[in-house]
Chain A
């Protein structure tokens, strides 16, 4: 980035930015527009930007398809998986960072590299023996495979970046290692924790495969429920788009508000103290 930019170059840069932005936003815009249209209007390619305010799709999503319960299910599972991922992952990340256990860290990463589908049949057998199919417990436990390694891997460089004199002085004042971790290190790790939990939450929120196999009628999550709009001989495009907006909105809102933290968190680890 040079500070002096010729006006022509600046125009081109702006044009480029808006062009790319337009390309990225177009599907999103289409989704938003389509959610207010009827099936016939959606399929008409000549009047893409014609808007008639029609909230039937949204009303249907809640009334006919009962989306509130799916939203609640998704929320419980994602929040639970993130919370327990943090409880397990933060001390793990801290020990890996403090004692330089790179091999151990790699081992955890392997859990993410192995395709999730290979866990499914064993899990299904175990959980059905434990009578845990279609309960939040099995879903939260399985989603922790998504959230925990992620949290650990974001937090390792973050903890490495914190000045370790802080911990040492706490130890001098009589703290144990766990005590120093909880009382001194955790409170200053806010940005890292926020980043990793938001992203972990989003990954769990969007997870499809584990929920498909382990959830049942009582615990169906949003990514499965959205397929209710597709049936054998009919695709309810309007409903599908309205539901997509509803699924995307919370994630979008969280991401917008937490954007500052995410950037601080993601770059935080790279600057060594």
Chain B
């Protein structure tokens, strides 16, 4: 024991030496490498202001990069863009925000997935003041899109990219069978039944069936049947309307869907459709280039678009802001950040970016010929039609969106598997209510 102790002292000595030596070395390397990479921003005292935009890997981000020199010329504000894939973006920004970092000036975020959590945690600066300074600023924005970035009449962001659920269909198959484009869910089911041809490898209908991923695309069905996720803080997953919607959606995929829908999020479902193996497909409008670009789709010239079919309660498809811009709460350059947001949200800029295929939130741009030039004609019409009666959320607006989606996804799965939907709904109802209660 004693010997051991002496040994420890010696060892500690050697170690201390080693640590001291190498930390000195590490120190050297530190200065070496930081000169190797670009020196950290210490330019704040200069006149040129630089703001940092943390953005998603998104066509919008690519498009805006090309326009930045113009903004810099106009305002003298330099914009630095960091971009990440969506889940990583959430991780990265939440760590930075949680540590009270001042480094995020403008942030691109998903209002429905992260918005409530970020907003409640105080990550965003309130934009209401900036917006109210401009006269009638919000008048030109699609109301349901604005709804996604508002709470208690305060704005924590401005809608940037919008999307809505549309019906993708195969023109050639419908024509051959002499079927009209379905306008109601009832007609959709009849048409899917008629076109379902498993012997030739063509399914009548395909859509997402993977647990959480399916929830957003199911939401339009739910609203069409008159149901909703919740009302006044109470889960409404077991309402008769909701049950009908779950049964309808599950039935459609169970009877007329391809094999393996339970594993399908959009990349898989889209692949089935673009390989010519399904007649109908419901998903977000923002995915359309996957279906119409010949380098990605084997049926590029045969794809048609229609507004989301109406249910017993009318047509209430989701029409949401999938991406929005916010200002970091700790940013020291909030005015410059607002300058930038105002510029990218200006009518001219939205028109320019929308002409490149980035669906914006301005009504006047959707009404202009220039704004819809890049979109297939029937798709632009469908989006405009959906915009009239759209719902501002495609998932329950809660803080724990992830677990809520998992619970609701369980009912969808039960429906697709042809199991007892009511029993599944009752179970999910309890779980979902627990989430709602915990957030009160």
B26 near A121 (CB under 8 angstroms)? Answer: no
Of all chain B residues, which has the CB nearest A131? B40
> Among the listed B8, B11, B17, B88, which residue makes an inter-chain contact with A227, where contact means beta carbons less than 8 Å apart?
B88
Contacts of A132 in B (CB 8 A): 30, 34, 40
Contacts of B101 in A (CB 8 A): 124-125, 128
B15 near A91 (CB under 8 angstroms)? Answer: yes
The 24 sampled A-B contact pairs (Cβ below 8 Å) are: A43-B271, A43-B275, A44-B275, A76-B33, A84-B26, A84-B29, A92-B15, A92-B18, A99-B4, A121-B98, A121-B99, A124-B96, A124-B99, A124-B101, A134-B37, A135-B34, A136-B37, A137-B30, A212-B84, A213-B96, A217-B80, A217-B82, A224-B88, A232-B323
Contacts of B91 in A (CB 8 A): 212-213
Q: Mark B1-41, 1 if CB is under 8 A from A, else 0.
A: 00010011011001101110110011001100110111010
Within 8 A of A (CB), among B62-82: 80-82
Q: How far is the CB of B24 from chain A (nearest CB, A)?
A: 11
Q: How far is the CB of A106 from chain B (nearest CB, A)?
A: 14
Q: Does A244 contact B (CB under 8 A)?
A: no
Q: A121-B98, A213-B91 are in contact. Are A101 and B275 (CB under 8 A)?
A: no
> Among the listed A40, A84, A216, A218, which residue makes an inter-chain contact with B296, where contact means beta carbons less than 8 Å apart?
A40
Q: How far is the CB of B327 from chain A (nearest CB, A)?
A: 19
A91 near B18 (CB under 8 angstroms)? Answer: yes
A233 near B59 (CB under 8 angstroms)? Answer: yes
Contacts of B88 in A (CB 8 A): 212, 224, 227
Q: How far is the CB of B18 from chain A (nearest CB, A)?
A: 4
Q: Does B295 contact A (CB under 8 A)?
A: yes
A66 to B296, CA, bound (A): 23
Majority SS at the chain A contact face = helix
A270 to B33, CA, bound (A): 39
B8 near A231 (CB under 8 angstroms)? Answer: no
Q: Does B267 contact A (CB under 8 A)?
A: yes
Within 8 A of A (CB), among B175-194: none
Within 8 A of B (CB), among A216-273: 216-219, 224, 227-228, 230-235
Q: Does A100 contact B (CB under 8 A)?
A: yes
Interface size on B, residues (CB 8 A): 61
Q: How far is the CB of A130 from chain B (nearest CB, A)?
A: 9
Q: Does A95 contact B (CB under 8 A)?
A: yes
B297 near A99 (CB under 8 angstroms)? Answer: no
Q: Does A140 contact B (CB under 8 A)?
A: yes
B295 near A40 (CB under 8 angstroms)? Answer: yes
Contacts of B323 in A (CB 8 A): 232
Q: A133-B40, A135-B40, A137-B30 are in contact. Are A87 and B11 (CB under 8 A)?
A: no
> Among the listed A95, A137, A228, which residue makes an inter-chain contact with B15, where contact means beta carbons less than 8 Å apart?
A95
Q: How far is the CB of A265 from chain B (nearest CB, A)?
A: 22
B59 near A228 (CB under 8 angstroms)? Answer: no
Q: Does B434 contact A (CB under 8 A)?
A: no
Contacts of B103 in A (CB 8 A): 128, 133
Q: Does A178 contact B (CB under 8 A)?
A: yes
Q: Does B239 contact A (CB under 8 A)?
A: no
Q: Mark A79-91, 1 if CB is under 8 A from B, else 0.
A: 0100010011001
Q: Mark B34-63, 1 if CB is under 8 A from A, else 0.
A: 101110101000000000000011110000
Contacts of B275 in A (CB 8 A): 43-45
Within 8 A of B (CB), among A112-139: 120-121, 124-125, 128, 131-137
Q: How far is the CB of A128 from chain B (nearest CB, A)?
A: 6
Q: Mark A93-116, 1 if CB is under 8 A from B, else 0.
A: 001101111001000000000000
Of all chain A residues, which has the CB nearest B58? A232
